[in-house]
Amino acid sequence: MFCFKYNSASQMDHSKMNHNHNPEMGHAGHNHQAMIDDFRKRFYVVLVLTVPIMLLSPMIQHFIGVSWQFPGSTYILFALSTVVFLYGGWPFLTGWLQEIKEKNPGMMFLIGFAISVAYLYSSVVVFGLAGVDFFWELTTLILIMLLGHWIEMKSVAGASKELELLVQLMPDDAHKVQGDKVEDVKTSLLVKDDVVLIKPGERVAADGIILEGEAYLNESMLTGESKPVARQKGAKVIAGSINGNSAFKITVSHTAKDSYLSQVIKLVDDAQRSKSQTQLLADTAAKWLTVIALVSGILTFAYWYITGQSFAFAMERMVTVIVICCPHALGLAVPLVVAKSTALSAKNGLLIKNRQEFENSRKITTIVFDKTGTLTIGKFEVSKTVSLNSHYSENEIIRFSAALEQNSQHPIATGILQKAKDLSIALTPVKDFNALTGKGVKGTIEGKEVMMVSPGYLKENDISIPEGFAASDTETFGFLLIDNDLIGYVALSDEIRPESFDAIRILKQNNIKSILLTGDNKTVAASVCKTLEMESFIAEVLPEQKLQKIKELQNAGEFVAMTGDGVNDAPALAQADIGIAVGSGSDIAAETAGIVLVNSNPKDIVNLVLFGKATHKKMIQNLIWATGYNVIALPLAAGVLYNQGILLSPAIGAVLMTCSSVIVAINASLLKVDATGKGN
């Protein structure tokens, strides 16, 4: 027994993919395919039975001018039609009963009601009631409905093909290293701190850290980044990415269920299940359409019967109206677009945690950008080291700075540590390390209190900036304090990403303002703002001040999207109309952001905005088609043009209803994100 019920609350379980790492997902995936196969089998059985039913139908014989009546032919017609009704109509009958049980009448209720009325009336005619049966209409109606459901189920499955591909990225087996031996084990059995060998051309078996070797990894299916990325010892790797030509070993970071890929699949599944205002609108419209179909069908029957038409004619009109008004296309209109857009987003490194925020991206008037790592490459390089104390050489400035920064994750720390490595400077242990949010870091080194701070910290604490110091419009400065004495400073430079220029340009073309919000100094911020031709900049702000800046923009009437790292920027991300966590890599647990971008590429932010617009556009197109079709088809089904010779049969009504659903499915499947960030 199969009942494939379409409604927006349960369009299909997108997590139910054929996934051999998750028995439940695999079982459900097979169930869905079994349902498709079942509809196909029922369709072919009914197709074979349709031929003798058509030939034995008195009305069809009258149309073609022949008479094949013989004793018992009416009962054979009844028997064949009963098989079609019970076997071919079974999914619709069970669906009808289920919707009655749930007190939620919808498409299955309408179809089940229509075919039951047609069958019962025709059966009574066979056994003595004066009238004409329409077994052939019943048979063709069921035949077309089975075909329509078969096609639509395949379309729904196709809408989640991208997600299924994500599910299949995880390899079945992993090469676990145990001493001098390598043993093949199931990926699902890997645990934290296991060592795994990744051979050339294989997929990475688990999230982890490179222990030995280096590689170029293709992460395009996970992040949307088309170019292979270099990963060296100590770098993070993501499960499912494809290794290049060299072997390397990784230390597993966590189990498969906690992997980046598993989190992505869960996010996509959750997003596909969540309802936005657009989908709630479609739900409401579908429920009203069900009521309208029933009322219209009854009124149509009453009108034609009272005005003198035969009982059979009035019954046929009622059945046609009910069938043609099934809210099938309306029920598919939004969920299919949701399934397609969330899966496509995940493939392109756009992870949707809040469905409503994604659809609201079309309303954005201002995007607030972080600078470091988003608009700039985020790879700081030491451009200058200056000692202000004769007891400390430039190398000593780097030694203390690098020792202090070894516990920091900030891009500036990375640049200083790289400089120490280039100079072969050994790092001294640091004690009592503490990060001063938005101001710098401090700790104890060799018994001294050491601080690496921003120019803003010097101003706040009335520490004189050294003579001859001149702020550069391309450099960021870190000042070294030892026991509260200013010892020297390090200048670091960061390049603007090439993609930033296109991103800001495309936003301007779409009338979206871009504002730079950074804790860096005003000179650097002004330079970046001017170079990229952004609207304005706000510099030297602490994380807690960013929230206030977002409020000020909102109070000015702007619909604001905020980009941030999801940690220091959490208050501002929560305050913004749309919070976008960027540069999260394999960590996608940015609770305050509704959307997570795997990469820090500003082009991805443009992709997000334009794809959000395209997704909403597809939803509206589908809703317009689904409702517009009913506005036109219902009167024709009721027979308003009967006197002009235009009359739709139940079978033609079923064809039109199926076509409307298929058109909606095809339109949803055309949604895509191209390389320029223009959603279609």
pLDDT at 406: 84
Residues 6+ apart with CB under 8 A from 252: 190, 191, 192, 193, 194, 195, 196, 206, 207, 208
Q: Please give the Cα distance from 562 to 581 (Å, whole number).
A: 8
> What is the CATH number that goes with domain 350-375+498-598?
3.40.50.1000
Q: Please give the Cα distance from 363 to 541 (Å, whole number).
A: 27
Contacts 24+ apart (CB under 8 A), 574-580: 574/547, 575/547, 575/550, 575/551, 576/368, 576/550, 577/357, 577/360, 577/363, 577/364, 578/357, 578/360, 578/361, 578/364, 579/357, 580/605, 580/608
| pLDDT tens for each residue of 338-358 | 777 877 777 777 777 777 788
Q: Please give the Cα distance from 367 to 95 (Å, whole number).
A: 47
Q: Please give the Cα distance from 355 to 150 (Å, whole number).
A: 29
pLDDT at 279: 62
> What is the CATH number that goes with domain 171-258?
2.70.150.10
Beta-carbon count within 10 A of 379 CB: 15
pLDDT at 21: 40
3-state secondary structure of 575: helix
Beta-carbon count within 10 A of 434 CB: 11
Q: How high is the mean pLDDT in each 10-residue block of the chain (680 residues)?
A: 33 35 43 79 93 80 69 88 93 88 76 80 78 73 77 59 61 88 89 91 89 83 64 86 87 81 68 61 72 86 90 80 71 73 76 78 89 75 87 90 82 84 88 81 90 85 76 77 90 83 90 86 83 88 79 93 71 83 54 71 84 87 80 84 79 70 80 57
Q: What is the pTM of this model?
A: 0.59
Q: Please give the Cα distance from 457 to 468 (Å, whole number).
A: 19
Active site residue ranges: 370
Would you state the CATH architecture of domain 381-493? 3-Layer(aba) Sandwich (3.40)
Q: Please give the Cα distance from 262 to 185 (Å, whole number).
A: 19
First to last CA, the chain: 39
Q: Please give the Cα distance from 132 to 311 (Å, whole number).
A: 9
pLDDT at 321: 82
Tokens 């695999």, residue? 26
Query: How is residue 391 written in tokens?
Result: 């007891």
Spans of all domains in the chain: 8-164+267-342+614-669, 171-258, 350-375+498-598, 381-493
DSSP secondary structure string for all residues of 440-486: EEEEEETTEEEEEE-HHHHHHTTPPPPTT----SSEEEEEEEETTEE
- The continuous run of DSSP H or E covering 381 comes out as strand 381-387
pLDDT at 449: 92
Q: Please give the Cα distance from 481 to 203 (Å, whole number).
A: 47
Q: Which of 234, 236, 209, 232 lies closest to 222 in space, CA to CA?
A: 236
Beta strands, E only, 239-322: 242-243, 248-252
Residues 6+ apart with CB under 8 A from 183: 175, 176
